[in-house]
Amino acid sequence: MNNNVFRNLSYGVYVVSCVIDGKYTGCTVNSIMQITSSPASIALSVNKDNYTNLCLNKTKKFAVSILSETSNPMTIGTFGFRSGRDCNKFDIIPYTLIDGMPVVKDACSYLICNVTGKTETSTHTVFLADVIDGDILDNNVPMTYSYYHNVIKGKSPKSAPTFIEG
């Protein structure tokens, strides 16, 4: 199989965040899709080794910060290549609290979600969630995953579902 075929699937770039034991944490994800609009619901795939997986299982509530082409690339790196087990990523990334959840300040939109179910694969949990709130914060162009690769020249770690060796 030509693994590069997966590069032709389209995604955005997001920070999924939550509050656990009074602390804010989260990680970069690309693997979010809308399931349907009524009830408004999404699915996302989170690696079982990620601290965020454990947090979503416990808290069952999270925010999605939808990053734009003008969002600081450092946000993607901080949330995508470090673990909330070892550091507090929100110490260095500006955020605002919406419905008690940390939303990245230069995101162009956000969603607030409640986990309603999940399916386990060998490496990832696919969380299903209802969207209970959401809004557009500015009119900047949402970042696509291909923009992240082709323009920002960003990389994906092994835990990203779309990781391709080499």
Ligand X SMILES: Cc1cc2nc3c(=O)[nH]c(=O)nc-3n(C[C@H](O)[C@H](O)[C@H](O)COP(=O)(O)O)c2cc1C
Q: Which residues form the interface with ligand X (CB under 6 A)? A: 13, 25, 27-31, 45-47, 50-52, 76, 79-85, 148, 154, 156-157, 159-161
92 SS3 class: coil
Q: CB-wise, 74 or 136, nearer to ligand X?
A: 74
For the bound state, the minimum distance from the C-beta of residue 37 to ligand X, rounded and expressed in Å, comes to 22
For the bound state, the minimum distance from the C-beta of residue 14 to ligand X, rounded and expressed in Å, comes to 8
State how far the Cα of 81 lies from the Cα of 60, in Å rounded to an integer.
23
Instruction: Give residue 138's identity as a one-letter amino acid code.
Output: D
The full DSSP string for 105-158 is TT-SEEEEEEEEEEEE-SSEEEEEEEEEEEEE---PPBPBHHHHHHTS-----T
Q: Which of 62, 28, 51, 16 is nearest to 157 (CA)?
A: 28
Q: CB-wise, 38 or 162, nearer to ligand X?
A: 162
Q: CB-wise, 7 or 82, nearer to ligand X?
A: 82
Please identify the residue of the shown chain whose CB is closest to the bound ligand X. 80
For the bound state, the minimum distance from the C-beta of residue 88 to ligand X, rounded and expressed in Å, comes to 10
